[in-house]
């Protein structure tokens, strides 16, 4: 049951509506080509209403990107009772299911094409996207190190290894070959292998964790 007051719930629903519309517009036009007028039209709201939620295109873009990253970090902000290995696998799929979306891949391609002329776009994307995600991963890994589950010297390098191992290659392929986006089976292979390598490198009980990972990979998604 939703316990939020109706007015607050309506505002949250309208904000989500605007952010979804913003992603559609930014993914189609890029940052420099997108306009607040276009976002308002796509969201079905007036321009004054849009500005009452987001006072600038920059604040709208940042909110849009942070929202997507927060979804990926949910399992790290609220760890499951199943433990670290299950959390890492849940994160890996949340990450894959987000960054491999066609609209987010299109947005990333457009931003890559714009940063040479507009470096501030790259900085905004990096700050509200990858940097925000990296800090969330680091916080989780540090809690696992403090609990004796992981061993590493630098949290940043361990976090970079985690997301690089699970998805770097298939995402790079999808960015530059939009007609050859990896299928679910391919993503599963990369995620499984990446987590195996990560656990071998950083787990304090690698044999036990690898056994748990193997068991989790055989379960239907809803049972993990």
Judgement on whether residues 124 and 160 belong to the same structural domain of the protein? yes
Better-predicted residue by pLDDT, 215 or 119: 215
Express each pLDDT in 56-90 by its tens digit: 998 898 888 777 666 778 888 888 889 999 999 99
CATH code for the domain in which residue 1 is found: 1.10.10.60
Q: How far is CA 47 from CA 15, 18, 60, 82, 89, in A?
A: 13, 11, 13, 46, 41
- Say what the pLDDT of residue 126 is: 81
Judgement on whether residues 13 and 85 belong to the same structural domain of the protein? no
Judgement on whether residues 173 and 195 belong to the same structural domain of the protein? yes
User: Confidence class of residue 1 from pLDDT cuts 50, 70 and 90?
Assistant: very low
Whether the pLDDT of residue 209 is over 50: the answer is yes
Judgement on whether residues 148 and 193 belong to the same structural domain of the protein? yes
Judgement on whether residues 157 and 191 belong to the same structural domain of the protein? yes
Judgement on whether residues 28 and 104 belong to the same structural domain of the protein? no
CATH code for the domain in which residue 147 is found: 1.10.357.10
Judgement on whether residues 18 and 118 belong to the same structural domain of the protein? no
Looking at 101-105, 146-150, 151-155, which range is the least confident one?
101-105
Q: Give how many domains the chain has, as a whole number.
A: 2
- Say what the pLDDT of residue 166 is: 94
- Say what the pLDDT of residue 4 is: 65
Judgement on whether residues 161 and 51 belong to the same structural domain of the protein? no
User: In which domain, by residue range, is 72 found?
Assistant: 64-223
Judgement on whether residues 187 and 114 belong to the same structural domain of the protein? yes
Judgement on whether residues 162 and 115 belong to the same structural domain of the protein? yes
Express each pLDDT in 104-129 by its tens digit: 888 888 888 888 887 887 887 787 77
Express each pLDDT in 2-45 by its tens digit: 566 788 888 888 998 999 999 899 888 888 889 999 999 999 99
Domain termination site, one of 55, 74, 99? 55
Judgement on whether residues 80 and 50 belong to the same structural domain of the protein? no
Q: What is the pTM of this model?
A: 0.79
Judgement on whether residues 75 and 183 belong to the same structural domain of the protein? yes
- Say what the pLDDT of residue 9 is: 80
Task: State the Cα–Cα distance between residues 29 and 45, nearest whole angstrom.
Answer: 19
- Say what the pLDDT of residue 148 is: 98
Percent of the chain with pLDDT over 90: 56
């Amino acid at each position: 049951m939703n316990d939020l007051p109706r007015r607050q719930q309506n505002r949250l629903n309208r904000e989500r509506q605007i952010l979804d519309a913003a992603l559609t517009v930014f993914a189609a036009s890029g940052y420099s080509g997108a306009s607040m007028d276009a976002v308002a039209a796509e969201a079905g709201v007036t321009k004054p209403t849009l500005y009452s939620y987001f006072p600038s295109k920059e604040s709208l873009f940042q909110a849009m990107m942070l929202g997507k990253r927060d979804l990926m970090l949910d399992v790290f902000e609220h760890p499951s009772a199943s433990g670290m290995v299950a959390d890492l696998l849940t994160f890996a799929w949340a990450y894959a299911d987000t960054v491999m979306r066609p609209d987010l891949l299109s947005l990333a391609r457009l931003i890559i094409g714009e940063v040479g002329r507009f470096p501030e776009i790259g900085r905004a994307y990096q700050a509200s996207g990858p940097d925000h995600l990296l800090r969330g991963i680091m916080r989780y890994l540090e809690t696992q190190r403090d609990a004796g589950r992981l061993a590493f010297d630098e949290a940043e390098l361990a976090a970079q290894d985690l997301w690089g191992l699970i998805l770097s290659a298939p995402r790079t392929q999808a960015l530059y070959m939009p007609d050859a986006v990896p299928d679910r089976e391919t993503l599963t292979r990369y995620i499984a292998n990446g987590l195996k390598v990560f656990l071998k490198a950083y787990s304090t009980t690698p044999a036990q964790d690898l056994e748990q990972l193997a068991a989790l990979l055989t379960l239907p998604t809803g049972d993990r």
